[in-house]
Structure formats: structure tokens, C-alpha cells
Structure 1
Amino acid sequence: MRIDKYLWCVRYYKTRNMVTEACKKNHVTVNGIIAKPSKEVFPTDKITFRKDQITHIITVLDIPENRVGAKLVDIYRKNETPAEAYEHLELLKLSKQHYRKTGTGRPTKKDRRDIDDYGNEIEEGDDELE
């Protein structure tokens, strides 16, 4: 089976086109050799690819007929990605939240309505003072 189809079948990428792009950018290797999208994979091959700032390492256990359900993926591959890689990703997410809190950018529609309501309350208060 082709490497692009295999990575799509075991649900690492949403589309085969995404896998093809990753192969063209040299993000995918099979047994340490940079792979083109048409590279054939066989059981016991070790696939390494970079996705979402994590270098995934998987071993091919079997070749699926078609795209498989998420629960059946472990039948066809063995995930050998170190746990530190996933921990590093969590730290990156936390650091991004530290520098810029969600919602601190442009006001949302709700924020704008609250601001308008606050402005209207102040104007009504001015009328009462006169």
C-alpha cells in the first residue's frame, strides 16, 4: 500500500492530499529514507513523520483494506512516539495561553452589546441628574 494511503487509512491525516503535501515537504520517512507519496509500505516498516509540532514514530503491523475506524487503528500500527513529545505539546499550548489570553483581542458581539448597554446606562443616569 502507498504511504499516503496508509497514513490516511490509519487516521493520522484527514485527506490523502494532506499526506501528499507532507511527503513533498520531506516530513515523512520510511525506515530513515525520505518517502515520496507513492512509496510502498510493508509490515515491520518504521514510519517517522512530523505533524502538529510532534515527530510521530509508528511501526506498520498490518495493511488495512480501507480507512478504518478510530477504535481499530491499533490493529494496523504500533505507536512508538515518546511520551515526552506529547508533554512538550501540552507545554506549548499552555505557554501560548500565558502570553495571550483568549478573548483579549477584538471585542466579540456580546462584548459590544455589553459596552453599548453600559453606555446607555450612563446616558440615562445623566438625564436623572438634570
Structure 2
Amino acid sequence: MGGESVRVDTWVWGVRLAKTRSQATTACRAGHVRVNGATAKASQAVRLGDEVRVRQHGFDKVYRVTGLPVRRGSADEAAKHFEDLTPPPLPRVERPAEIVRDRGAGRPTKRERRDIDRLRGRDGEG
């Protein structure tokens, strides 16, 4: 290998986007891998400069091919073969640390329950 192109499943596996070559092939068959916007078959060739989209954990990751790995290497070695173009995630919506209930809304508190019982004439009966 190491020529002008490699198979897309080999590239996905070689840059450590899939743990095994068969997982990379399965991802291609399922339509989770796109090359330059088109759904890729496992045997499709990937060349330098191509844009590869891989669906991982429910999100699309976008990569530009900057190298063609001859074999699967370390994570540092794999990082030399792609450029991550994935846009940053949207900021999370801030939630209040504690939910504040308006007085009179929802279930009555213990104190409110005693007041209601007193109004209804059920003071200490029980």
C-alpha cells in the first residue's frame, strides 16, 4: 500500500476511528461513512485531500485526509493522517441548580397541610 489511495474502510481503521477492520467495513455498509458527501462503499478509494464524514455515537465527525496509513499505528501516528474539521458542539443550556416551586403550586408542604386541616376542622384528630 502507501500509493495514491487506500480503501476507505482501511483508512478509517488505520486512523483509529474504528477498533477493528470489520467494524470499519460494517460502518461503511450501514451508510455511516461518507467520502466527499457521497455514501461510501467499503472498497471505495480515499485520496489525499478528501473529506471523510464518520457517524460516531450519534454525531457526524468530519475529517480531511492528510495521509494514507500503510498500517495501523499508535494514536500519535494516526493523528498525522487526518485533520479534524468537526464544528464545535453547541453550548449546553444552563439549568438552575435548584428547582424553586412557587408558593401554592404543586403539593402542599407539611406546614400548609396543617393549615388546611385546621381550616377544615380536623385539628388533632387522627
Bin for the TM-score computed over the shorter chain: 0.5 to 0.7
Q: Are 2:18 and 1:13 equivalent residues in the alignment?
A: yes
* Cα deviation, residue 74, structure 1: 2.1
Number of equivalenced pairs: 88
Partner of 1:62: 67
- Residue 81 of structure 1 and its aligned partner are, at CA, apart by 1.0
Task: Report the secondary structure of 1:83's partner residue.
Answer: coil
Question: Among the aligned pairs, what percent are the same residue?
Answer: 32
Any gaps of 5 or more consecutive residues in structure 2?
A: 1-5, 94-126
Q: Distance in 2 between matches of 1:33 and 1:5?
A: 18
1:26-56 residue CA offsets vs partner (Å, 9 max, x unmatched): 1111001110000010000000110111201
Counterpart-to-counterpart distance in 1, 2:86 and 2:10: 21
Partner of 1:82: 87
Query: AA paired with 1:31?
Result: N
- CA distance in structure 1 between the partners assigned to 2:76 and 2:54 by the alignment: 22
Q: Is 1:31 aligned to residue 14 of structure 2?
A: no
The alignment's TM-score, normalised by the length of structure 2, stands at 0.65
RMSD (CA atoms):
1.7
CA distance in 2, matches of 1:24, 1:74: 25
Q: TM-score, normalised by structure 1?
A: 0.63
Flag structure 1 segments of 5+ consecutive residues without an equivalent. Answer: 92-130
Letter in 1 for 2:37: G
